[in-house]
Amino acid sequence: MTSYRKPRLDLLFDMHADLETPQVIGAAPAGQRQIFNVKGGTFEGPRIKGTVLPGGADWMLMRTDGSAQLDVRVTLETGDGALIYATYSGLAILSPNVLGRIAGGEDVPLAEYYFYTNPMFQTGAEGYAWLNQTIAIGRGKALGGAVEYRVWAVSNPASEPLAPSGHQNFP
């Protein structure tokens, strides 16, 4: 089998989004559906910063195994006015105790739960076109009425050649 090296992770941005009270759809065959509408927020990283526009949401499914399956779509607006569509799935595994503590406003340490996402981006803005070919991974933090993410771009290790498409490593 081919020998694979661990990919490089480069900080893309940190994001904070404020959320409305969830719309609880109720028990469906796959689990409990809740929709968390985004009120707004901010994001900032080494090459990009701006605001999270209102109107996006997480169409979260609380699965029967106790995991929260995320289905998020948001629009980011950079400081220079570019619009970026971000979409990601993810998985959060939080015990009922941790969920209750977060809902009660406690800042629960990340070590007490699992919360990861895989963002992808689309934009027509030339200055941010590199995002269209960027795979990312995010670590989430659940807060009462909000969510935070640290998002990294995934790149080839520096010593590996470019992919056949010529895709560059994240600069």
Return the higher-pLDDT residue of 160 and 157.
Answer: 157
Q: CB burial class (10 A; 0-12, 13-18, 19+) of residue 43?
A: buried
Q: Residue 69: which of 104, 28, 95, 34 has the closest Cα?
A: 34
- Judged by DSSP in three states, 109 sits in coil
Task: Give the pLDDT of residue 5.
Answer: 83
Interval 41-84: pLDDT, tens: 999 999 999 999 999 999 999 998 889 999 999 999 999 999 99
Task: Give the pLDDT of residue 58.
Answer: 96
Task: Report, as an integer, the average pLDDT of 10-37.
Answer: 94
Residue-range domain boundaries for the chain: 8-154
CA distance 76 to 51: 6
Class of domain 8-154: mainly beta
Task: Give the pLDDT of residue 66.
Answer: 83
What are the DSSP calls for 40-75, one per residue? EEEEE-SS-EEEEPTT-EEEEEEETTSEEEEEEEEE
